[in-house]
Amino acid sequence: MGSFVNLGVKSSTLLRVHNIAVQFADSDGVQDAISGASALKIAYQLTTQSQGALVYADDKSLVASGSLALYNAQTAEDGSASADFSTGFTTDRQDIAPQDWKNGYLVGVDSMFLGIDANGTATSGNVVVSIVMECTLETATQSSATALALSQQ
């Protein structure tokens, strides 16, 4: 982000995030289904500070967060859980997202951090979480940009 966000002496350039699209995919490829033995929740967060764990929505560094929850209610003939999520449920949600704000989310720092946490195990292997951000650049005064940057650290 350092090539976009610039806290200059006379004027500064800030990044306004308008939309974040999130993709959850199997590590073998986007065409392969994510499957698991019973239940799986994958949560992500995009922050302006490095975090050791997922943070709550009141954390000043949180830009966006969300999760994918999968549950398999189907059991095999031997009573074990099936690896097919098709008979259970899937929920995909964004708790906090810049597109929910009227004017997006203004970022004044030169680094952002994507954090992922999973509860449960996918039998299909690791799950890859990718994001695509729709952004614009804005000019700001040095004092307002510095104040924003300090508030996000």
- Model confidence pLDDT, tens digit, residues 2-39: 788 877 777 888 999 999 999 988 888 887 777 766 78
In a domain, 143, yes or no: no
Q: Which two tokens stand for residue 134?
A: 């729709």
Identify the band that residue 90 occupies on the pLDDT scale cut at 50, 70 and 90: confident
In a domain, 30, yes or no: yes
In a domain, 150, yes or no: no
- Model confidence pLDDT, tens digit, residues 119-129: 887 777 788 99
Question: Is 0.85 topped by the overall pTM?
Answer: no
Cα–Cα distance, 117 to 108 (Å, whole number): 26
Residue 54, sorted as left (phi over 0), alpha (psi -120 to 50) or beta, turns out to be: beta
- In which domain, by residue range, is 123 found? 20-102+110-131
In a domain, 6, yes or no: no
In a domain, 47, yes or no: yes
Considering Cα of 52, then 53, then 58, then 61, what sign does the dihedral take? positive
In a domain, 34, yes or no: yes
| Tokens 């929505």 sit on residue | 57
In a domain, 142, yes or no: no
In a domain, 153, yes or no: no
**Tally of structural domains, the chain:** 1
